[in-house]
Amino acid sequence: MTLPENFRDFEFVQSTIKMIYNREVATEFRDIGLDDDGIATPRAALKTACRIEDNDSALQMLLRMFLYYFILRKARDFQRPVYGMPLDDYQSAHKFSPCVHLYFRQDTAATPPGRAPVRARLSYRVRNETSLTITEAELRSQALRIRNEFVVNNRGWRWSKGRLLVTYKDLERGLNLQIYALNKAEGIQVIRKVCDCAQAPYDSDLVVTHESEQDFPANPGMQNILGRSRRRPVRRPVAAVRFVRATASIWGLPQDITLVANPLGRANPLVPVPNLYDSD
């Protein structure tokens, strides 16, 4: 490996970490404008304390990253709590066709303080394929169709999640969608895009809307658990969610294959899109 004569290893590593890490900090503090940098407000002070600067020592860099990931608890985004079972246990009990998953997430700037961002996941089966017959070329074709449908100007396409359940069931073509949308038209718009990704013809007769008589308040209030007052979960929240990544589950593989994602957040996506934001 040939390096420039004046190459300095620490400065190179520092500049690389600074470029990637400061981008994440800027996204988290996107509500702080360029003119608000400094320590004039608590949020601006936190942003200043977290940002890595050119003249930082290695210890200062680590302290800033410790503040961001552990004191501000951003590291928990890496391990979002889920209810589930180990992958090998599931695959030993269930054999399945290749499945594509589309993930959506509310923008950080639009997420109310103290609330987790609203998320959505839509999935479809890749019919006429098995884990033994599907090829990387087919997965790349899936990824390209997903990028064409759900990436606009290198940003994830957004749709409005809401309280109306819109379903679309076409099992022969691998579709069994349940979409909580703001209205029927919004749900149909999402369904059409998923159909295009799955190369399945859209059939309006398969669209069914489900009205609920229950009340879904935007602010359900508080409840007392273990002696502490805690927020009640919001059921069927209303929020705009943005496409952040797509993966494929293949029976027999220990991990999902990343189809479309930001390469800085997900390793080796088949179709990288640098400006997609994904903190899951």
Per-residue pLDDT for the chain (280 aa), expressed as one digit of tens each? 566 666 777 888 888 999 989 988 888 888 776 655 677 788 888 888 999 998 999 999 999 999 888 887 776 666 667 788 888 888 889 899 999 999 999 998 888 877 889 999 999 999 889 999 999 999 999 999 999 999 998 899 999 999 999 999 999 999 999 999 999 999 999 999 999 999 999 999 999 999 998 999 888 899 999 988 888 989 999 999 999 999 999 999 989 999 999 887 777 899 999 878 755 5
* CA 188 to chain CA centroid, nearest Å: 22
**Spatial CB neighbours of 77, under 8 Å, sequence gap ≥ 6:** 279, 280
Q: How far apart are CA 262 and CA 259, in angstroms?
A: 10
Contact 236, 246 (CB under 8 A): no
What pLDDT does residue 75 have?
Answer: 64
Q: Give, to the nearest 10 degrees, the angle between helix 136-150 and helix 184-198.
A: 150
Contact 244, 156 (CB under 8 A): yes
Q: How far apart are CA 65 and CA 62, in angstroms?
A: 5
Sign of CA dihedral 47, 49, 55, 60: negative
Tokens of 71: 């004191």
Strands (E) located in the chain = 99-106, 119-125, 151-152, 155-156, 158-170, 175-181, 207-210, 222-225, 228-231, 239-249, 257-261, 271-272
- The two beta strands, 119-125 and 271-272, are unpaired
Its pTM surpasses 0.85: no
Contact 163, 238 (CB under 8 A): yes
What pLDDT does residue 1 have?
Answer: 57
